[in-house]
Structure 1
């Protein structure tokens, strides 16, 4: 496929296939290439930009921000990754994915501007998202960092306010193998004199030191802002050190106690951009009640209960376990598990193995997927008497779980975005 054919007449599917093979490395950290294209295309947003980083929880924060700001009447461009079912999910306006034609137009504009500069799949998509938001003249951009922060393509765009949700161990080969090293990368999204929030309850000192060295206006949860649960767990209060309180807030529609910290960060970010983007208390309450974000401890209707969660690292697995413990009693728990081979498989399994009775293992359909035999070996090393079954596809693993589960049981689908996506496709979602 020639560059001309791609740029002039191809479908979104053709474009994505082309981009997957354009750059020699799937992940290539650094900002020089994207900055060059940014300059050539004059991609300098004039509207407020909110940048969100973190090991887990970024998507939930972006979803809450988007819903509240949309309800407040703003035109909101939101960039997230990865997608579950369709690439268009990554580039949304007011929560609605843009259509193929719009994305292709932005891809073609980048192709015309890049010359002989090679861009990764993610870099191309990031530039396309901001290009599309500028074309459609959004009032605010909510940009989710893909990996790390300091050297992520999203970081070329100057934020009005930035938030780091959580800091856990993931992507060690790129970010470091300690929370302290990873925190430096996350804090790279902060800017001098700009609001720089963090909702990790125990932030590494390196995040604080980096923010201070940058000269950012660092605000930490529990110290500079936070939340209090009230009304027997039915409502909560947001506060900050300036003495502002937002009372009688509804519990977010997104499941899991950890969402309270995410929601507190959202309100902190909204307070930070209030001069440019004022929202009412009513907008906030309605947004918290209406927010949706698929596959983040998503409990599907019907029996047996099916839970979809993209948990794929130990930090997310610990949160997943806590949410499972709040579900109530189920006689048998089936797990449909598929993971990527570069993840801490043992660490994830260790955190949830005593909550699972029957394992259904399969590899999602991509080269990076871990062999189910390897998953089985790790499970049996930790739980020698575990009931473990292997299948040739995620779809078949899920079908077996459904067949083996009684109405009172539950089925957990987790381990990777790709695993969850294949089950969603199998369900016709």
Structure 2
């Protein structure tokens, strides 16, 4: 379902308001948030990291919902509709609520006595989701950081518990050239005297140092919490707490136990304020759903949707594909932003994909399908009898070609940008 004309008009208008798409500073958005008196009177969990943020947020929302709490969840970007970015009690924000919030923000940011403040699309829409959450009066709020941490609009909120899921190379033009630089940026979602969780098994030293400098209570994977498991079940252990004999999470993939472990650490830290039973944990993990994260659709040929768009995520996707068993041919529908490490992504997957169907995307930030084809050639991938390389104007056309060319025993992997996976999801729903 498309958004209402009123919401579409607002979103279009907000996109044009600020001269930059990304403007890394908190001063402007903090000023408007203060005018709006944005605050939450319940526990807040903020989740940052290079990869795994969305899955960790989904685990938290699902477990807390099973425990009977009313949860507000903020994530970004969306796959199909803007409303996916905000949900309360597992329902997406209504168009009318967003329009009302936008009107409220517009009045606050253009206040004649206090002066006009310019906001980016992300800042404006983040504030709108926060306003709606305040009206909903949640029992807990889960917030996904957009990019980095230190200067992300989500970092306006002082989290009771902050999680950094993983630290790897992405958005280097904004966050710095190394894992150490990026880890320091992400660590700024931590707060003095509050729980700071890092789910990365090899945390950057600057992240650890920052947490110690500000006096945060740092929980490290492998030191303060851990997991173990066999073919049938897994166990989690934290600081003086254990959760045993759990079924594997509903979200598939090699890194999901790391993400689930960080979520369980956060819930352990908040057990006095939002206690969850073992039953709620088990059911929450089992029923968690998140489109586009190694999402395997039923039917033949198998279709896998994954928003892997950097080398770290693509390495995880490669491992997950390896664990699926034998398929005669693997077809890829691939579209990417131009500012991503496309060479690194291809390198992780090139031995696992037979046919490459490359697509343009409907945004100026995207690499063209022709540019992606050049990247394949540079990686030594050339068209031949068992390797098709074709370019398409949009993901739906590329997916249709894959479905036509693949046998029922093959598999089709749609990956890369959220635009790629979102367009494929929309096309599949229409089919």
- In structure 2, the residue matched to 1:393 is 394
Correspondence 1:268-417 to 2 at 5 A: 268-386=265-383, 387=387, 388-417=389-418
Deviation at 1:426, TM superposition (A): 1.2
Deviation at 1:27, TM superposition (A): 0.5
- Contact persistence 2:63–2:283 (CA under 8 A): yes
Q: Residues of 2 paired with 1:10 and 1:426: CA distance?
A: 22
- Contact persistence 1:67–1:94 (CA under 8 A): no
Deviation at 1:67, TM superposition (A): 0.8
Which of residues 45, 50, 66 in structure 1 aligns to 2:61?
A: 66
1:106 aligns with 2:101: yes
Q: Residues of 1 paired with 2:100 and 2:275: CA distance?
A: 32
Q: Residues of 2 paired with 1:375 and 1:41: CA distance?
A: 44
Deviation at 1:94, TM superposition (A): 2.0
What CA deviation, in whole Å up to 9, does each residue of 1:383-416 have, x standing for no partner? Answer: 2434311122221111111111001100000011
Q: Residues of 1 paired with 2:16 and 2:352: CA distance?
A: 41
Deviation at 1:10, TM superposition (A): 6.8
- Contact persistence 1:145–1:154 (CA under 8 A): yes
Correspondence 1:208-287 to 2 at 5 A: 208-229=208-229, 232-240=230-238, 242-287=239-284
Deviation at 1:420, TM superposition (A): 0.6
Give the gaps of 5 or more residues in structure 1. Answer: 1-8
What CA deviation, in whole Å up to 9, does each residue of 1:119-175 have, x standing for no partner? Answer: 111101111111111111111110000000011011011111000000011011100
- In structure 2, the residue matched to 1:183 is 183
SS of equivalent residue, structure 1 residue 420: helix
Q: Residues of 2 paired with 1:394 and 1:66: CA distance?
A: 30
Deviation at 1:65, TM superposition (A): 0.4
Which of residues 71, 78, 99 in structure 2 aligns to 1:76?
A: 71
- In structure 1, the residue matched to 2:162 is 162
SS of equivalent residue, structure 1 residue 33: helix
Q: Residues of 2 paired with 1:323 and 1:270: CA distance?
A: 27
What CA deviation, in whole Å up to 9, does each residue of 1:239-281 have, x standing for no partner? Answer: 11x3211111111000012000000001000011111101111
SS of equivalent residue, structure 1 residue 414: strand
1:149 aligns with 2:144: no
- Contact persistence 2:376–2:382 (CA under 8 A): no
SS of equivalent residue, structure 2 residue 188: helix
Deviates more, 1:243-252 or 1:159-168: 243-252
Deviation at 1:217, TM superposition (A): 0.4
Deviation at 1:95, TM superposition (A): 2.1
1:139 aligns with 2:139: yes
SS of equivalent residue, structure 1 residue 37: helix
- In structure 2, the residue matched to 1:6 is none
- Contact persistence 2:74–2:144 (CA under 8 A): yes
Residues matched between the structures, number? 418
Give the gaps of 5 or more residues in structure 2. Answer: 111-115
Q: TM-score, normalised by structure 2?
A: 0.95
Q: Residues of 1 paired with 2:191 and 2:222: CA distance?
A: 22
Q: TM-score, normalised by structure 1?
A: 0.96
- List 4+ stretches of structure 1 deviating above 2 A: 383-387
Q: Residues of 2 paired with 1:320 and 1:141: CA distance?
A: 29
Q: Residues of 2 paired with 1:203 and 1:368: CA distance?
A: 30
Q: Residues of 2 paired with 1:233 and 1:243: CA distance?
A: 25
Q: Residues of 2 paired with 1:262 and 1:150: CA distance?
A: 21
SS of equivalent residue, structure 1 residue 337: strand
Q: Residues of 1 paired with 2:243 and 2:99: CA distance?
A: 42
What CA deviation, in whole Å up to 9, does each residue of 1:12-50 have, x standing for no partner? Answer: 110000011011110111111111112111112111110
Correspondence 1:197-216 to 2 at 5 A: 197-216=197-216
Deviation at 1:324, TM superposition (A): 0.5
Q: Residues of 1 paired with 2:311 and 2:408: CA distance?
A: 30
